[in-house]
């Protein structure tokens, strides 16, 4: 993982570039950029990626797993990032399914994209954006997002990547061998939503629910005010209202 790194000063999006080279590239190839002109966020959003304000990179994975296991990859990445931050002494938590939170505000996001045939995965692109030095946040996100520099924490990009890839590889190999225990421990113990009332958002509708647990597939188990218990699948919806 990270043996081969394609580095760009400027690119449209490391996810777009990784998609272009995925079929001809070995698993673990990384696309890294100082700046993205068309950084992509989840649900068609833009991920503003100015030069040297953050860490923007994508990794190509080619796991031989069943399609139904694929959504867990986002959870695995969230757990690997969290483990790396904790190793650095930074108290990160995870807002299911894919936001990393520091002191109540988002500092990093994950965008996972998959290319699959009917019954098997061709490749998965895992894009990670971390706000390192960003100072000015757009009006609509400034109460919800921050950067490490804003919080008085210096993170060196290369040092972070050197620590992240071994953690990622370790949890990824365990996952492929059927062992998700460490991942699930991190997801549950560092969750910013478990044990709280949150809003489930689907097709623009907000429903108040209580976040009970994360199941072994990485899905969120919520309880409605009526007492009805529901499994919320990763990638299906997002949870707001922290």
Q: Which residues bind ligand BTN (CB under 6 A)?
A: 13-15, 36, 39-42, 45, 47, 49, 56-58, 99, 109-111, 127-129
Question: 101 or 211, CB closer to ligand BTN?
Answer: 101
* Cis before 32? omega within 30: no
Q: For 19, how many CA atoms within 13 A lie in the half-sphere containing its CB? A: 13
DSSP class of 43: G
Q: How far is the CB of 38 from ligand BTN (least distance, A)?
A: 7
Using CB positions, name the residue nearest to ligand BTN.
109
Of 50 and 170, CB closest to ligand BTN: 50
Least separation, in Å, of the C-beta of 6 and ligand BTN?
13
To ligand BTN, the closest distance from the beta carbon of 46 in angstroms equals 9
Helix (H, G, I), strand (E, B) or coil at 39: coil
Beta strands in 166-204 (DSSP E): 197-202
H or E stretch at 181: helix 181-189
**Cβ-based nearer residue to ligand BTN, 45 or 103:** 45
Counting every residue written for the chain, the total comes to 242
| Closest approach of ligand BTN to the CB of residue 177, in Å | 27
Question: Which residue, 50 or 89, has its beta carbon nearer to ligand BTN?
Answer: 50
**Nearest distance, CB of residue 125 and ligand BTN, angstroms:** 8
Q: Report the residue number, 141 or 229, with the smaller CB distance to ligand BTN.
A: 141
């Amino acid at each position: 993982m990270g043996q081969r790194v394609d580095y760009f000063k400027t690119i449209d999006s490391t996810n777009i570039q990784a998609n272009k080279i995925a079929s001809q590239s070995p698993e673990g190839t990384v696309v890294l950029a100082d700046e993205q002109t068309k950084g992509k966020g989840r649900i068609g959003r833009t991920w503003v990626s100015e030069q040297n304000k953050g860490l923007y990179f994508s990794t190509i994975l080619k796991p031989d797993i069943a399609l139904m296991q694929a959504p867990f990859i986002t959870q695995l990445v969230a757990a690997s990032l969290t483990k790396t931050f904790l190793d650095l002494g930074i108290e990160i938590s995870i807002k299911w399914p894919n936001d990393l939170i520091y002191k109540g505000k988002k500092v990093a996001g994950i965008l996972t994209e998959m290319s699959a045939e009917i019954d098997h995965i061709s490749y998965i692109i895992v894009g990670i954006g971390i706000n390192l030095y960003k100072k000015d946040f757009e009006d609509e996100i400034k109460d919800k997002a921050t950067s490490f520099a804003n919080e008085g924490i210096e993170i060196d990009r290369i040092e972070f990547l050197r620590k992240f890839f071994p953690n990622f590889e370790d949890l990824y190999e365990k996952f492929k061998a059927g062992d998700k225990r460490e991942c699930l421990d991190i997801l549950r113990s560092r969750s910013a939503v478990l044990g709280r009332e949150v809003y489930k958002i689907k097709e623009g509708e907000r429903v108040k629910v209580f976040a009970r647990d994360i199941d072994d597939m990485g899905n969120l188990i919520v309880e409605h005010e009526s007492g009805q218990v529901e499994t919320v699948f990763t990638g299906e919806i997002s949870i707001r209202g922290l």
